[in-house]
Amino acid sequence: QAQLHESGGGLAQAGSSLRLSCAASGLTFSVYHMGWFRQAPGKEREFVAGISWSGGSTYYADSLKGRFTVSRDNAKYTVYLQMNSLKPEDTADYYCAASVRRDRWFEGYQDAYAYWGQGTQVTVSS
């Protein structure tokens, strides 16, 4: 059974950094493209970043380019999201997800992702 487990969330000050991790199990991690999404209170879940199965291609929400970096370690079955210069508007639950589709995943379509984690909460105080 495929499982994704996020960690690394918590309380952070504006301007600081956090690194989220997502550990995968029960699937052949190296064939899955991975994505990060977030859902702020009262808002819909939105795409944050995606990374191809090899790590060779990465995609970001336009508003987050330059502050967030997605990476992966296939040997450790883990994908990461480095978040720098955090802002209060980054406060949200962050989710990782896995996709084997060739399309739509890098555009952030949520229905392209077959497996989802339970999320980790990030709160950024001003």
The contacts of residue 62 (CB under 8 Å, 6+ apart) are none
Write out the two tokens for 68.
Answer: 């967030």
Q: Report the pLDDT value the prediction gives residue 44, as an integer from 0 to 100.
A: 97
Confirm if 51 and 34 have CB atoms less than 8 A apart. yes
Would you write out the chain's pLDDT as a tens digit for each of its 126 residues?
Answer: 999 999 999 999 999 999 999 999 999 999 999 999 999 999 999 999 999 999 999 999 999 988 999 999 999 999 999 999 999 999 999 999 999 999 999 999 999 999 999 999 999 999
Neighbour-count burial of 50, counting CB atoms closer than 10 A to its CB (0-12 exposed, 13-18 middle, 19+ buried): buried
Task: Quote the pLDDT of residue 65.
Answer: 83
- CA torsion, points 105, 82, 18, 122, in degrees to nearest 10? -10
User: Which pLDDT score, from 0 to 100, does residue 64 have?
Assistant: 92
According to the model, what pLDDT value does residue 88 have?
97
